[in-house]
Amino acid sequence: MDKKKINGMNTLYKYLIAFLIIATISPAFAGNKDRSGQAGASELLINPWARSSGWGNANMAKVRGLEAMWGNVAGTAFTKKTQLIFSRTQWLKGTGTDIFAFGLTQRVGESGVIGLQVMSMSFGEIMVTTGDSPDGGLGTYKPGLMNFAVSYAKAFSNSIYGGIVVKFISESISDVNAFGMAIDAGIQYVTGENDQMAFGVALKNVGPQMRFSGDGLSFKDIITMKGIDQGYTFNQRSQAYEIPTMLTIGAAYDFLFGGDYSMTIAGTFISNSFSKDQFAFGLEGNLKNYVLLRAGYTYEQGIWDNIETPENTNLNSGLSLGASIQVPINKEKGTSFGIDYSYRETVSFNGNHSLGIVLNF
């Protein structure tokens, strides 16, 4: 056996061992509805990208390019040269909440890809109220939620891809803020005569606890001591909170019909540490790489028990739909322009609508 084959086998063994370790510790992240609402930074669970959310995040084994930074970072290693995506999501349509996302992936060397992702949530202006002024009149403030992430992924062979993401989390209002950090890691394994079968594992949002601080947690009061009024400022400490760790295990298969027509079926098991586990199933049709249509369904225990008031602990569940249009600009250079759209059913309000613009150079 030559040296290349030996190195390839050693790499495969390492990833199999890593997979077994993840599978062993996965019960520690098993879904628990009794812990719902106990984690913070829940915006980390929101997929801001239209293409992968259009089939309910079911394609975590075969997600490709920049969108893999949220799903399974190993997929960013499939970026051919440079990819840019701009996306806007109407989150819980009817609430006035918007999500803006921007990302860039760039190939470096023969097998490496670096990535950058920025996600920001806008809630509009909120009236300032206090115990003495419950009706407002004191002005307004704008809450801010922003995540900044950098990634690196690499093709270790023609079949094995892996990567890591480092996220920086910022949550703030006018006088209180919290900062944190989290790490994602993912592996994808591709096999088959035409690479039509894929498996993927990703561990997401692993990091230390976060805590709010700032002047908003302080208050002034007057204490009378020995007949003398004295003013004091009291500082309060907020309770530290955990971030929502998540484990995903997925598989996908391509049915190739020739003439650039194909259909992909995919499924992903999502283990949430602070809510019920979910199963996502999806289907995508590819028409000559010009038009892609997709649909998905996300199931969790209790979703069908009572149709009028389902017992969901996750906001996103049920039906997802999406479509993409891709137009080649220069086939020789591989440049293209695309528009993605997705709709995701939600327990409350009128669902989530995402629209993205994709540029490949």
| pLDDT confidence of residue 27 | 46
Q: Is the pLDDT of residue 32 over 70?
A: no
pLDDT at 239 over 60: yes
Residues 99 and 58: their CA atoms lie apart, in Å, by 21
258 or 249: whose pLDDT is higher?
A: 249
The whole-number pLDDT of residue 39 equals 82
Q: 114, 123, 38: which is closest to 76 by C-alpha?
A: 114
Tokens of 145: 């939620």
Across-strand partners of 282? 266, 296
For the chain, give the mean pLDDT: 86
80 three-class SS? coil
Q: What six digits make up the tokens of 277? A: 């586990």
Section 231-235 average pLDDT: 76
* Average pLDDT estimate for 20-45: 64
List CB contacts of 47: < 8 A, sequence separation 6 or more.
53, 57, 70, 71
pLDDT of 31 reads 55
- CA atoms of 247 and 266, how far apart (whole Å): 17
Which three-class secondary structure state does DSSP give residue 161?
strand
Q: The whole model's pTM is what?
A: 0.85
pLDDT tens, 107-138?
998 899 999 999 999 988 888 887 778 887 78
Nearest to 39 by CA among 272, 302, 270, 202: 272
Complete DSSP assignment for 48-110: --HHHHTTTTTTTTT--GGGGGTS-GGGGGG--SEEEEEEEEEETTTS-EEEEEEEEEEEETT
Per residue in 335-358, pLDDT tens? 999 999 999 998 878 899 999 999
Task: List, in order, residues 6 or more apart from 212 with CB less than 8 Å away.
Answer: 171, 176, 177, 178, 238
Q: Is-contact 70 354, C-beta < 8 A?
A: no
Q: 176: which DSSP letter? A: -
> Measuring CA to CA, which residue among 206, 148, 210 is closest to residue 177?
210
CB 277 within 8 A of CB 300: yes
List, in order of start, the domains of the chain with CATH numbers: 3-211+246-360 (2.40.160.40)
Rounded Cα distance, 200 and 322, in Å: 22
pLDDT at 125: 85
**Cβ distance 279 to 267 under 8 Å?**
yes
What pLDDT does residue 28 have? 45
pLDDT confidence of residue 20: 44
Q: What is the pLDDT of residue 29?
A: 46
The answer to whether 169 touches 210, Cβ cutoff 8 Å, is yes
Task: Name the pLDDT band for 66 (thresholds 50, 70, 90).
Answer: very high
Residue length of the chain? 361
pLDDT reported for residue 312: 65
Question: What is the helix (H) or strand (E) element at residue 288, kind and residue range?
Answer: none
